[in-house]
Amino acid sequence: MKKLLLSIILLSLFIACSEVDSITPEEIIEEDYSDGDFEPTDWGVATHSNDADPNFAEVFEDNVVKRIDIVVTSARWQAMLDDMTSLYGNFGVGGGSGGGASFAEENPVFVPAEVFYEGQEWYRVGLRFKGNSSLSSTWKSGNMKLSFKLDFDEFEDNYPQIKNQRFFGFKKLSLKNNFNDKSMLREKVAADIFRNAGLASSHTAFYRVYVDNGSGPVYFGLYTMVEEVDDTLIDTQFSDNDGNLYQPDGIGASFAEGSFTESVFVKETNEDDADWSDIQNLFSALHASNRTSDPAAWRANLETVLDTDVFLKYLAANTVIQNWDTYGRMTHNYFLYNNPDTKLLNWIPWDNNEALQTGNMGGSLPLNFSGLSSTQWPLIGYLYADPVYKGKYDTYVEEVINGVFSTSEIQAVYTEYATLIEPYATTETRGYTFLNSSADFQSAVSTLKSHAAQRAAAVKAYLGN
C-alpha cells in the first residue's frame, strides 16, 4: 500500500510539473496495478494463445462492421494525453483542416488496457496512439478520433499471466482513424486492390470503436483495422519470415545516389544484426555506371537484389489508383522485405488512407511520370526509362484497369461498402469525426466513383487505345 501511495503521489507531482516527457510505462503500471493480481478467466487457445494460427476470417471479415471496446483507467488515459501534449503540444491548438502537422521523434507511450470483443476480454493489452503527421493534425484540430495501436503481449514481463497473448492469433493490430477520408473507404479498398493484384498487402476490416476511460463507453467512431506487416503479413504471405524487414523513412528512402544511411532503413526484424548489405547492394545495382551503356547487364544485376516484377506491378497499381503519400512524392509508407526464398527485396505498400484521389503535395504522379526527377526518385525514373521495364509496367497498368480496378467492379465495391458502413459513419459525433455532416460521407463516396471512371479514361489515353 505504501508503494502504491508513493507511486500515485510521484505521478501526481510529475504531471503537475509538466514533466511528461520522462514518463514510463512502468510508472503508469505501478499507479493502479502494482501487484498484477488477476486471473485471465476468458483465456482460450483459439482466442488468446500464440499456439493458434491467425484467424483472418474472424478478425478481417469483409461484409460486417464489428465492435471492439477498449477500457483504460482514467489515470492511464490521462498519462496518454499528457504524453501527447509533450509530443505535439496542447490538444486543439494550432490545428485545422489537414494543417498544423508535425513529426515527433518518438512514438506515443504504451499503457495497459483491457480489450473486449464478442463478450470476451483480453488483458493488459498494450495501447498507444499511432501515426505521425496525421496524428499531429488530428490532435491539434481538437479531434479525439485518434488512431490506435494494440500490442497484445506488450506488458507480458509485468503480467506473466498474459505471456504470448494473442487476439485470434494476432500479436499486433492497428486501428486507423481514416484521417482525411470522409468516405472512410480508401484505406480498406486500396489495400484490397494491392492484394488482389497479387502483391503482399495488409488485410483490413471495418470496426466501430468504443473507449471507456473511466466514465463509460464512448463511441470514437468507425475505424479500419489493419494487419501489421511485421506481425502476420510476412508470416502468411511469404513462405519464410526470417528475412530482413525494413520500414524506410527519411531522405535515403528515396534511393537517390549517395543518400543511404542505416538510420533511415529501420529494421523491423533481425534488429540485432547490424547488416544492411542487401539495401546497400540495391543502391549499388541501381546506380551502376552501365545503366545506359549496357542496360541488359544493368537489369541482370539489379534483378539479383530487387524483385523488379513485384515493384513494377506495385508501381502500376499505385499509379493507376493514384496514391501520392508514398514513394515518388514522400520518403515513407512502404516496407521492403528480403524474401529468404528468392534473396530478393520485395516492395510492400503501407498506409493507404491518402490513396484513390488526385492528392496533395504536388498531387499523384502521372502515368508517364512526366515531371518526375529521376535522380531524386531513381527506382521509378531509372526503371521507367528502360524500354524493357517500361513495357512490363505498361502491361501491368493495363491489367490493373481491366481487372482489380475496372470501373464497373470498383464502383460496385464502393456501393457495397458504403451501404455497409453508412449507419456507423454518419452517426459519429462531434469531436470524434472528420465529417461536418452526413452529406459529407455520400459526397465522398460519389467522388470515389467519379475518380474510378476518370482513371479509366486516363489509362486509355496513356496506352493509346
Strand ranges of the sheet holding 245-248, from the earlier edge strand across to the other edge: 265-267, 245-248, 334-339, 344-349
Rounded Cα distance between 306 and 157, Å, is 39
pLDDT of residue 37: 86
Cα–Cα distance measured from residue 129 to residue 224, given in angstroms and rounded to the nearest whole number: 14
**Quick one: what percent of the chain has pLDDT higher than 70?**
90
* pLDDT tens figures, 331-382: 999 999 999 999 999 999 999 999 999 998 889 999 999 999 999 999 999 9
Tell me phi and psi for residue 96, to 5 degrees: 160, -165
Average pLDDT for 423-433: 98
Q: What pLDDT, in 10s, does the model give residues 112-159? A: 999 999 999 999 999 999 998 899 999 999 999 999 999 999 999 999
Query: What are the backbone angles phi and psi of residue 40, rounded to the nearest 5°?
Result: -75, 80
pTM: 0.91
In this predicted structure, what is the pLDDT of residue 35? 54
Residue 195: C-alpha distances to residues 7, 14, 173, 430 (Å): 48, 47, 18, 34
Annotated domain spans of the chain: 2-177+202-236, 239-465
**Residue 387 phi/psi, 5° resolution?**
-60, -35
- For the chain, the residue count is 465
DSSP 167: B
Beta strands in 52-153 (DSSP E): 66-71, 111-117, 120-129, 148-151
